[in-house]
Amino acid sequence: MALPTRDEWLDYCQSDPLFFPTKVLGLDLWEKQVEIIRAIHEHERVAVQACHSASKTHTAAALTLSFLFSYFPSKVITTSAQKGQVRYALWNEIRSQIRNARLPLCPKECITVMSLNLAPDWFAIGLKPQEYNPEAFQGFHSSNVLIIFDEASGIPAPLWEAAEGLMTHAHCRFLAIGNPFDPLSTFGEVCNSPMWHRIKISAWDTPNVKAGRNIRPELMAWDWPEKMRKEWGEQDPRYYARVLGEFPETDSTLLIPPSKARAVLDRKPLRSDDHPVVIGLDPSGYGPDKNVWVVRQGLTILDIQWVAKATDEALAKRTKDLVDKWHASIVYVDGGWGKGVFDHLVRMGVRVRLVHLSQPSSRPDVQNLKTEAALKLRQAVDSGLALGPAAKREAQNWVADIAAPKLTIDPRTERQKLEDKRSLRSRLGRSPDFLDATLLTFVHADTSEWKPFELVVEREAQEGEHRPFGASQRSFSGRWQRPEFYFRRSLWLDRERGFA
């Protein structure tokens, strides 16, 4: 039997888009993979928002080889959100499919770590994240081009614009595939664009979940969605993206929704005498931003103050005044601009710690210390955080700041990440100084005793009913004292904190 000519082979592969991946590569495709491959054959631009472990990289690798060996000349350009995803995931899968193909596809010398070179105008290549600039996509024009963005949610906007410059010929295709983490990202925009054909893959579309047992071990386990529902909750952005295959609703991406932030203003402060008083200082010196202090004790923001411009020495003196006024046990100073203030406070004998919020978190699911502190702030709001009378002077500025940042999943690390200060400043047109000072007070907060707000109120009421002097009889040290001694010691502080 005579072998088909190159033109006959290409005609056959182009007429049936499933021929090459199933007959030549020998892949056992499931329903959504077939839908994606057919969609690339029929549509110029295809966006796939998919849940976790849904064969995204496997499908991208199959399309890379299918397109390359179905069109001549042709060029396939692949990239991802991070270098490891391109090299060790996508291109490892491409090389694996070449090795396991039913027919020899090319000589070994044609294959490198992140490229497959069949001829000068016939190749596939992987671009690393370091090459994220518009110039990296120049020189790849061809009559047949396929662009693949794996983990597309983490790819920056300039690269999307550069890739569009290659979509100028009659037969050009663009596949963007990934977890739908951020609805405001470029990937989120294209998934809602009429120019793109959208495919959604949820956990309930995958074979194992459909069958109720693990029939394909390389895919999501059948009981994983239910485990994550119990662990994360159905409103968690991670549940939306990794289980439902949906972009989180805009409100659900906010660290603290505005309604919850405003509710803090209507609460009466609860006693927190057995918690230390801590101060957070976000200094900017003579810069354009505010120098902000936030004083917190337990679930009460006792005071919020700010000045526009001041020297390090002046900031340190005012901080020392606040320490003396509120009997604060420690001051946390932002390490970005606070080294000078820190040195002055040390010389004044104040217990102070310099904090870099960008340093890694000790929690494996959290990107950095700032995000960890933000999650504690959100828990405090849910547990009954309130503002004292002194703090309410800056209530509107404080509420505006804590209700502004988004909490998303970093596509590169798949960890929770608070919106960075540069992005937030660009979006708001100002610096979120009140937020940063507040987060500093939560860096080392012990949240083990914090309960949902309604339960706290009920518990305090029950405890007060059985005390001759009510809930206010507890002293700063947490020991019971004679009421006349207690009131003589703390009447002024109670008035300042809103308890009297």
Alpha carbon of residue 405 to chain centroid: 11
Tokens 């088909």: give the residue. 4
Instruction: Report the distance separating Cα 306 and Cα 283, nearest Å.
Output: 9
Alpha carbon distance 136, 128 (integer Å): 10
Q: Which amino acid, residue 107?
A: P
Q: What angle do CA 415, 418, 422 make, to 5 degrees?
A: 125
Q: Indicate if the pLDDT at residue 3 is higher than 50.
A: yes
Structure tokens at 174: 């663009």
Peptide bond into 364 cis (omega under 30): no
> pLDDT confidence of 42, banded at 50, 70, 90?
very high
As a dihedral over the C-alpha atoms of residue 150, residue 144, residue 106, residue 15, rounded to 10 degrees, the angle is 100
Segment 429-449, tens digit of pLDDT: 889 999 999 999 999 988 776
Q: What is the pLDDT of residues 98-140, one digit of tens each?
A: 999 998 999 989 999 999 999 999 999 998 765 455 566 666 7
Question: By percentage, how much of the chain surpasses pLDDT 70?
Answer: 86
Confidence of residue 396 (pLDDT cuts 50, 70, 90): confident
**pLDDT at 478 exceeding the cut of 50:** no
Report the chain's mean pLDDT, rounded to a whole number.
85
AA letter at 428:
L
Q: What is the pLDDT of residue 423?
A: 85
Q: How far is CA 46 from CA 147, 158, 183, 240, 390, in A?
A: 10, 19, 17, 21, 55
Query: Within 13 Å of residue 498, how many CA atoms lie on the same side as its CB?
Result: 21
Q: Any alpha helices (H) in 141-247, and if so which ranges?
A: 157-164, 186-190, 207-211, 224-232, 237-239
Query: Edge-to-edge strand order for the sheet containing 277-282?
Result: 352-355, 330-334, 277-282, 291-297, 300-307, 386-387
Taking phi over 0 as left and psi of -120 to 50 as alpha, with beta for the rest, 391 belongs to alpha
pLDDT of residue 165: 86
